[in-house]
Amino acid sequence: MKQICCACMLAWLAVTPCAQERSAREAAARAPIDAFFKAFNARDNDALKKTLHYPHVRINEAGGVNVWKDASEAATNFDGLARSEGWARSTLDSVSMRQNDAIKVHFDVVFSRYKADGTKYATYQSLWIVTQKDGQWGVQARSSFAP
């Protein structure tokens, strides 16, 4: 009987407005991360810029901080990445929401990089901070151990 009561209580909690709000927020805040990887793999800097909020901050593997004040400063050198690492594509391996409120969500993001022959050569854990500005979610900051 206790198990049934506990199961009912858990089921009720799962559909409460708070849980539904959190689930909707997570999906909405995750969308620019998914769009980022789609644009990244398409080597589409214009689409990539639209997934970000500005100023955009990236903390790199050496602890350096890059700040793009606006979209005109944002750019990824895909040809350089291909030359230096043999990069051909990336996969988004996992995305887990860690903290959130109505305007900011922290995600643990794990992604991998692959060569043209399909060989995975790197996997990186990272922290992505997604914010809502003017009703739009975008990636505000990233910290990873990727070059």
Q: Is the pLDDT of residue 11 over 90?
A: no
Q: Residue 124's pLDDT band (boundaries 50, 70, 90)?
A: very high
- If DSSP codes are grouped into helix, strand and coil, which group holds residue 14? helix
Give me the pLDDT at residue 17, please.
56
List the structure tokens of 94. 């996992």
With 0-12 / 13-18 / 19 or more C-beta atoms within 10 angstroms meaning exposed / middle / buried, residue 105 is: buried
Q: Is the pLDDT of residue 2 over 80?
A: no
Q: What is the mean pLDDT of residues 18-35?
A: 90
Residues of the chain with pLDDT > 70, as a percent, come to 88
Alpha helices in 42-107 (DSSP H): 45-49, 78-85
Q: pLDDT (tens digit, 9 = 90+) per residue, 79-115? A: 999 999 999 999 999 999 999 999 999 999 999 999 9
Q: What is the CATH number of domain 25-144?
A: 3.10.450.50
Give me the pLDDT at residue 23, please.
84
| pTM reported for the whole predicted model | 0.84
Which residues are registered as beta bridge partners of 85? none
Query: CA-to-CA distance for 60 and 109, rounded, in angstroms?
Result: 14
Give me the pLDDT at residue 21, please.
79
Is 37 within 8 Å of 92 (Cβ atoms)?
yes
List the structure tokens of 122. 């790197």
Give me the pLDDT at residue 105, please.
97
List of residues 6+ apart from 145 with CB closer than 8 A: 61, 124, 125, 126
Give me the pLDDT at residue 22, please.
78
Q: pLDDT (tens digit, 9 = 90+) per residue, 133-143? A: 999 999 999 99
Q: Is the pLDDT of residue 12 over 50?
A: no
Q: What is the mean pLDDT of residues 9-19?
A: 55
Average pLDDT, rounded, for the chain: 91
